[in-house]
Amino acid sequence: MCPYIIIEEIKEAYMEYIYALAGARKVAIYDEGNNILAAFIGKSRNVQWLSIEHDYRAELVSTLYRDEICIAYISVANELVYKKAGGEERLVLFADLHNALSMRNISFHIFEAGLYILYITTSAKTGADELWCISPENDRKGKRLLAEDEGIASYRIIEYENKTYIIYDKNAGSKIYELETEFVLCEKEEKTLCELKAFDELRHQYEQKEKEYKLQYKKQYDELAHLTEQIQEEGKKWRDLYLKSIKKHPT
C-alpha cells in the first residue's frame, strides 16, 4: 500500500496527473526526459521528489485503484510497463521490441473483473488495427477485443445503464460494441451509437467544468516547481563560488 491516503484524483489531458492527499498535500506524477517522477507538494510550499522509473519513452498513464496510484507507459525498449507508485515490483506486460506492431493509445479501465490496460497494435500480417486489453493483476495475458481493417483512430469506453460500451473511430466513421461477460463484444445499432455520443458529450462538458475549478492545482505545482528550480540554481552558484575560493586559497 502507498504510505498516504488519496482523497481525490485530477488528470489534465495536457499535463501530469495530480492527486490530492490527506493533510492538504498533493502529489504530481509526470515525465521528464526518460524519467517518471513524483513531486510531493506540502502545505508550506516545500517539494520533495521521488524517482519512479528511468526508462520512459511515451504514453504515461496513471489511475487510482484500491487506494494506490498505478502507472503504465511504453519504455525505451517498446515494452508495456506497469507499476504502482512507491512499490518495488515492475511488470512488463507486453513487449514489441522492434516496434513492428506500433503499440499506442494506452489507457486504464476498471471493469467488473478488475483493473485492465487497453492498447492498440497493428497486425504485422494483416495490417489491421487491433484493440487489446490485459490485466496486471490476474493472468497477465493479452485479450484481443476487436480488429479493424480500416484502422482505429481512437476509442473510448462508456458505462451507461449498467452496461459497458466501446466506441471507436475509424476512417469511415464510428462503430460501437457492447462489452459482455468474459470480454465478448457485441456490435450495436447506429441508434445506440447516437444516444451514447450525446451522453458522452454531456459527460465531457461536465468534466471540463470540473477541470476549470481544479486548474489551481496545476498553477500551484508550476509555482512550486519554479521556486525549487530557483533554490537549486542559487545553491549551485554558491557551491561553485566556494569551490573557486578553495582553489585560490588552499589550506
- For residue range 15-73, list pLDDT tens digits in order: 478 888 777 778 889 888 899 988 888 776 677 888 899 999 999 999 999 888 999 99
With residues binned 3-state (H G I as helix, E B as strand, rest as coil), the percentages for the chain, rounded to 5, are 25, 45, 30
**Other residues' Cβ atoms within 10 Å of the Cβ of residue 37:** 18
Instruction: Tell me the average pLDDT of the chain.
Output: 81
Residue pLDDT, tens place only, 133-173: 999 988 899 999 999 998 999 998 888 888 898 988 887 77
